[in-house]
Amino acid sequence: MAQSLPNPHLALMENDKLHHLGYSTTEDLKALFGDVKFVCVGGSANRMLMLTTMLHDEFSIPLPATGKPENICKTERFVMYKVGPVLASNHHIGGTSVTIVLHELIKLLYYAGCVEPIFIRIGTSGGVGIPPGTIVITDRGYDEQLKNQHIVTTLGKFQVTDAVFDKGLAEEIQRHHTEKSHDVIIGSTLAIRDFYEGMGRLDGAVCEHGEEERLAFHRKLQELGIKNIEKEATSMSSLCKRANRQAAMVCVILADRLSSDRIQLTPETYKEYNLRPLRLVTRFIKHRLEQACDGYEAKTD
């Protein structure tokens, strides 16, 4: 039985339109999405394409005649792919964007009758004293006030909510790390609203601080146990927790901010680092499915 959602107004709606995905409750969403067990999101549309191509291979599901996964999002806002029991969508950059797509994905699977789907964000991040190539699975998010919280503004009022991910799920994903080339750690993540000033970078169009201040800030983050910096941790953890959905965040580090603001990787290394969290999440999903039903068989017509 599908989990309920903490919004009594949904039951009163004759037709709920998911504006950014292009679906509505006038369609047979159960037939389209009722078997979904995992939802993977990431900022980059190309990263989601890479993931779904990998999943097609892992599940031995043939690609369409075009040779690449089919984008089933009905608007130009996002891309969305479905491979067996996995739904994947990009969310662009930032907390605002990720909550828009998550609200609609959570409702989509609720209307489809999906039972306890797991939501996983796969992304990139800057490290705080952690070497590039390391994967960080987030246990809690910190906001720009360096507090473990997320603030939602509704009807002109601030609502402070927890920004905590599912610890058991994080540990389970970590156990599927099998590659000797890099570490997979669990730790806290700072979520910023602005790529340049919010991260204390020196290379934005405007900068009113120096290198010593930048380093002092990052050392403070290190003292708090913050392992990496990105933009969606607090938004995603808060929303999924309030909606009673299991969630995890798995990000690879592209640069150690204690050393430099700049990403100093060759194109080949950059691509390899991007693949690392995709492979880890794929192993986790495949193992879960094998445990549940001795493997996953694609539906055939």
* Least confident among 121-130, 158-167, 193-202: 193-202
Q: Is residue 50 part of a domain?
A: yes
Q: Is residue 301 part of a domain?
A: no
Query: What local confidence, expressed as pLDDT, does residue 300 receive?
Result: 38
pLDDT tens per residue, range 253-286: 999 999 888 889 999 999 999 999 999 999 999 9
Instruction: Look at residue 175 and tell me whether its pLDDT is greater than 60.
Output: yes
Q: Is residue 240 part of a domain?
A: yes
Q: How many residues are given for the chain?
A: 301
pLDDT tens per residue, range 122-135: 999 999 999 999 99
Using CA atoms, how far apart are residues 66 and 98, in angstroms rounded to an integer?
29
Q: Is residue 299 part of a domain?
A: no
Instruction: Look at residue 296 and tell me whether its pLDDT is greater than 70.
Output: no
Residue 277 maps to which CATH number?
3.40.50.1580
Q: Is residue 253 part of a domain?
A: yes
* Least confident among 52-56, 176-180, 194-198: 194-198
Number of domains in the chain: 1
Helix (H) / strand (E) containing 217: helix 211-223
Domain range for 289: 8-293
Q: Is residue 34 part of a domain?
A: yes
* DSSP per-residue codes, 235-277: HHHHHHHHTT--EEEEEEEEEETTT-SS----HHHHHHHHHHH
Q: How far is CA 226 from CA 128, 159, 178, 191, in A?
A: 7, 24, 24, 10
Ramachandran sector of residue 260 (left: φ over 0; alpha: ψ -120 to 50; beta: rest): beta
Instruction: Look at residue 295 and tell me whether its pLDDT is greater than 60.
Output: no
Q: Is residue 300 part of a domain?
A: no
Strand boundaries in the chain, DSSP class E: 17-18, 23-24, 38-42, 80-83, 86-90, 118-127, 135-142, 150-154, 157-161, 184-191, 226-230, 247-256
* End-to-end Cα spacing for the chain: 26
Average pLDDT, the chain: 94
Query: What local confidence, expressed as pLDDT, does residue 261 receive?
Result: 81
Q: Is residue 3 part of a domain?
A: no
